[in-house]
Structure 1
Amino acid sequence: MYDKIIDILCAIKDDQPELRQSLSPHTDLNNDIGLDSLQMIQFMLKVEDQLQVDIDYDLFDYEHLHSIDAFITFLKSCHSHEQPLYEDVKP
């Protein structure tokens, strides 16, 4: 999941090829990367699409952007797009 988020961030900030080397699990998504509001929307939509997760924006908070690790922890609490219809059915 971490690598996919890094790939998404680098694709959005494609004007900064050096970004990948500066990212770590502790990187602040808001202050260190400098996503503007449009880029933040693109980031969230790409995360939902590529990680196949539904972000619960009612539970989402600014604190989830304090680090990539904090964001991943939040994403793990969100529902996957591909949930089995029955509990005993495995995909």
Structure 2
Amino acid sequence: MGQDVVERIKAVLAGVLANGIGPAEIADDADLVDEYGLDSLQMISFLLGIEDEFDLELDYDNLRLDDLRSVRQFGGFVAGLVPAAS
């Protein structure tokens, strides 16, 4: 998985959080829920933002909570859906 995927995910996350945290301040291993407090509406906005950013449709049937435990883990999930993005 390329660092580009992770950086793009961080940019989407920073936009959803809209609390002044920039993409560079988001750690690769930060827990999206525990550390950034994404609520259910923010999570939906985040996932829709990822779909727009990577021009893909997420496979929600195969998306597990563990895939959302860190930016890096989620990047691996996204890269698996779009191998050209990695």
Alpha-carbon distance in 1 for matches of 2:41, 2:55: 21
Aligned to 1:3: 7
Aligned to 1:49: 52
2:10 aligned partner, one-letter code: I
1:43-73 Cα deviation digits (max 9, x unpaired)? 0001001111221111100000111110011
* Larger RCO (alpha carbons 8 Å, 6+ apart): 2
Alpha-carbon distance in 2 for matches of 1:50, 1:21: 18
Alpha-carbon distance in 1 for matches of 2:38, 2:62: 21
> Superposition RMSD on alpha carbons, in Å?
1.7
1:14-44 Cα deviation digits (max 9, x unpaired)? 1x21354541110111111111111100000
Task: Quickly say closer, same or farther: Cα 1:19–1:31, change in 2 above 3 A.
Answer: farther
Runs of 4+ residues deviating >6 angstroms: none
Q: State which structure, 1 or 2, has the greater radius of gyration over its C-alpha atoms.
A: 1
Quote the sequence identity (%): 29
Aligned length: 79
How high is the TM-score relative to the length of structure 2?
Answer: 0.80
Shift of 1:2: 1.4
1:54-73 to 2 correspondences below 5 Å: 54-73=57-76
Structure 1 or 2: larger helix share?
A: 2
Structure 1 residue ranges without an equivalent (≥5): 81-91
How high is the TM-score relative to the length of structure 1?
Answer: 0.76
